Amino acid sequence: MFKKPLPLIAWTLFVILISSLITTAYFHVFVLGKHEKSADVEEQAIRFVTTEQAEKSPIKEGNSIVEVFSYGCHFCAANENNISELESRLPVDSKLIRIHLSNGQNTGLASYAPVFATLSVMGIEQKYRESAYKAVIKSNINLNDQEQLKKWLQQNYIDVQEYEKASQSQESKELLTYMTDISRYYNIKATPVFIVNKKWLAMQDRDFSEFSNQLLSLLNNDKPLE
């Protein structure tokens, strides 16, 4: 029927070879690659600190979850209600501690650490946290600039003189040092990051309801969920 069977056979073998190569490539890229990527994300999302390192941690509070956040972090702002819910689920002998990312240079996401420290010393940080988020994220207000900061304080009816006094207090300086020590010790550059029992570093890699279960498992069982 076919006058030239050899070319036909060669073409058939060529098609089979190409199909096999495409199938193999698809398997490695989309199946194995996806699996390896998921494993990498899992490894990066939760990091274990050795017992020796945990013992030398600058974190003072044991049996705790420390959230390192920033006023310039969109995810941190969006998670405020989730963080409150997480706190309500903590065991009675545990605590949630919130600190601002600090690098001692007041740059990048750490820029607003002095504002956080001062408001905390004044006892009003939680009350004005949402306003600080909006100022930095939505209004692009530089709270490091004294004139812009002063205007923001006045708009929020915060006594400027009391703020300046608190910003120069020993308590404020000690809190800044404490936050900087933690940020540097755990090499934290992005936010939010959660430090559980001084030895687990966790970054959100799933829906927060599931992520909070992971944090509580690290806190209560000292191990990640399967």
Tokens 């069982």 correspond to what residue? 221
Q: What is the dihedral of CA 207, 208, 214, 218, to 10 degrees?
A: 150
Tokens 């207090």 correspond to what residue? 169
Residues 120 and 127 sit within 8 Å (Cβ to Cβ): no
Residue 42: what pLDDT? 41
Residue 55: what pLDDT? 93
Residue 8: what pLDDT? 54
Strand extents, DSSP E, 88-191: 95-100
Give the chain's length.
Answer: 226
Vertex 158 angle, CA 153 and 161, to 5°: 90
Phi, then psi, of 202 in degrees rounded to 5? -125, 135
Per-residue pLDDT of the chain (226 residues; tens, 9 = 90+): 445 555 555 555 554 555 444 444 433 444 434 333 333 334 468 999 898 999 999 999 989 999 999 999 999 999 999 999 999 999 999 999 999 999 988 899 999 999 999 999 999 999 999 999 999 999 999 999 999 999 999 999 999 999 999 999 999 999 999 999 999 999 999 999 999 999 999 999 899 999 999 999 999 988 888 7
For residue 220 the two structure tokens come to 């209560």
Q: What is the dihedral of CA 13, 18, 23, 26, to 10 degrees?
A: 170
Euclidean distance between CA atoms 82 and 169, whole angstroms? 32
**pLDDT tens digit sequence for 33-64:** 433 333 333 446 899 989 899 999 999 998 99
Buried b (16+ CB within 10 A) or exposed e, 7-46: eeeeeeeeeeeeeeeeeeeeeeeeeeeeeeeeeeeeeebb
Buried b (16+ CB within 10 A) or exposed e, 188-219: beebbbbbbbbbbbbbbeeebeebbebbbbbb
Taking the CA atoms of the chain, what radius of gyration do you get in angstroms?
A: 26
Euclidean distance between CA atoms 173 and 179, whole angstroms? 10
